[in-house]
Amino acid sequence: MKNQWVHKMTGYVRIKIVGPYPELFINRCIDQKISVWNIKRIGKEALVCSVLLDEVKQLRKLARVSDCKVRFLERKGFPFFLQKILNRNGLIIGAAAFLCLLFLLSNMVWGVEIEGATPEMEHELRQAVTEMGIKKGAFQFRLPAPEVIQSEITDQIVDATWIGVTRKGTTYHFQVVEKEIAEKEPAEAPGHLVAKRKAIITDLFVEEGNPVVERNQVVEKGDLLVSGLIGKEGDERQVSAKGTVKGEMWFEAEMDIPLSKTLYVATGDSHRRHYFHVGNIKIPFWGWFSPEFANAKEEEYESSWEIFGVQLPFHYGYRDLLEAKKIEEEAAVEEAINIAKETGKEKLQQQFSEEAEITGEKVLHHEIKGGKVKVIIHFKIVDEIAEKQPIIQGD
């Protein structure tokens, strides 16, 4: 017998066979290779069964030979479904018209948004995109790709550094980055560059002025590094000395580091409480009763749920309560010294510029006293040592 899905595709009918011997009719159908299934007796002289649509024509002859009458009860399958649809052509036309209208409306431009532009540039940009056909009511499939639009618009708007173009649904978004014209810096007053700390010169770069020191030279605070007087003696002119002078300096730091410190270590016991978040409200729905821990640490997790890129106002989360025990740990002297080095670096770095670099460190002395390690460390640091000094009349 053929599969059920084949019956539905080709179509079949449900018939009623009435006669003194309906079983004889069924037997003759089987002899003629006619597919008959789902046979049910509904009376002494009546049977109900299913027959394929393309084999219905052979039933009349068999019914006369078997002295039976055949009545059609139901028509099922794709051919009959298709006939019903064709009889309702108005429904088909309406559905097709709706799909066409939906396709056209979803492929039209319904908005043009511009961000990051001044009113003048926004007006210029709107005119440019309108000339390209990007306006309300235009069909998207007739417009260039966003990459092509971005290239052409950026070439047209000369006052913009960059214009980004994205298409989200039926709206075109333009992100504008305008050119910034740097203001001309006012002329600086004439001056020298002098040392603000005692150091050994490690690097010297002069943009303007007359250098009076060289690398590996030791300078004291206030010593002249780059002169703002240039030209021959007697015919000198004053300029604002510019340049970079880096020097190596030495500092001693004294640090007191405790030998013992308190730590909290997880025991492995924990409790989890589950929440359902609605806005800023947390509604617990499992794990209400948490154990009492003398020392505990909390860790929270929150998920985020989205549909089509839109974040939903509700989501799931949980909170873990981890039991911890308090222990005392005796830190090794070497660990205390390492801590002293790092702490000393941080404090020393605060006294210099962000470009300062610590190039060396040496522990001069350490001793244990009163539960603490006293550490004296010698640091080498390289940083900018030049500062501006105005030229005083008579220099």
* pLDDT for residue 1: 42
As a whole number, mean pLDDT of residues 257-269 equals 70
Using pLDDT thresholds of 50, 70 and 90, give the confidence band for residue 260. Answer: low
Which amino acid would we find at residue 349?
Q
3-state secondary structure of 187: coil
DSSP letters along 240-264, please?
Answer: B-EEEEEEEEEEEEEEEEESEEEEE
CATH of domain 4-82: 3.30.70.340
Given a cut of 90, whether residue 39 has pLDDT beyond it is no
CB under 8 Å to 344, separation ≥6 — which residues?
Answer: 253, 255, 361, 377, 379
Whole-structure pTM value: 0.38
In sign, the C-alpha dihedral spanning 7, 11, 16, 17 is negative
| Distance separating alpha carbons of residues 364 and 302, to the nearest angstrom | 51
- At residue 349 the predicted structure's pLDDT band, cuts being 50, 70 and 90, is confident
Count CA atoms closer than 13 A to 220's CA, side-chain side. Answer: 0
d(CA 146, CA 172): 9
HSE-CB for 148 with a 13 A CA cutoff: 6
Whole-number Å distance between alpha carbons of 323 and 291: 9
Angle between helices 119-131 and 146-156 (to 10 degrees): 130
Q: What is the mean pLDDT of residues 260-277?
A: 75
pLDDT at 342 over 90: no
Rounded average pLDDT over 46-74: 86
C-alpha–C-alpha distance, residues 193 and 112, integer Å? 56
Strand ranges of the sheet holding 372-384, from the earlier edge strand across to the other edge: 218-219, 199-208, 242-258, 372-384, 357-369
Architecture of the domain made up of 111-178: Roll (3.10)
Residue 122 is inside which H or E element, if any? helix 119-131
Domain boundaries, the chain: 4-82, 111-178, 192-244, 260-330
Helix 89-106 / helix 78-87 crossing angle, nearest 10 deg: 80
**Average pLDDT, integer, range 16-32:** 86
Residue with tokens 């490690």: 202
β-pairing verdict for 306-307 and 357-369:
unpaired
Judged against a pLDDT cut of 60, whether residue 2 lies above it is answered with no
Say which residue the tokens 């981890």 belong to. 322
Partners of residue 47 on adjacent β-strands: 17, 41
CA 32, CA 30: separation in Å to the nearest integer? 5
Sequence-ordered list of residues with C-beta below 8 angstroms from that of 134, at least 6 positions apart, any chain: 109, 112, 143, 149, 172
Calculate the average pLDDT of the chain: 82
Interval 107-142: pLDDT, tens: 888 888 888 888 888 888 888 888 888 888 888 878
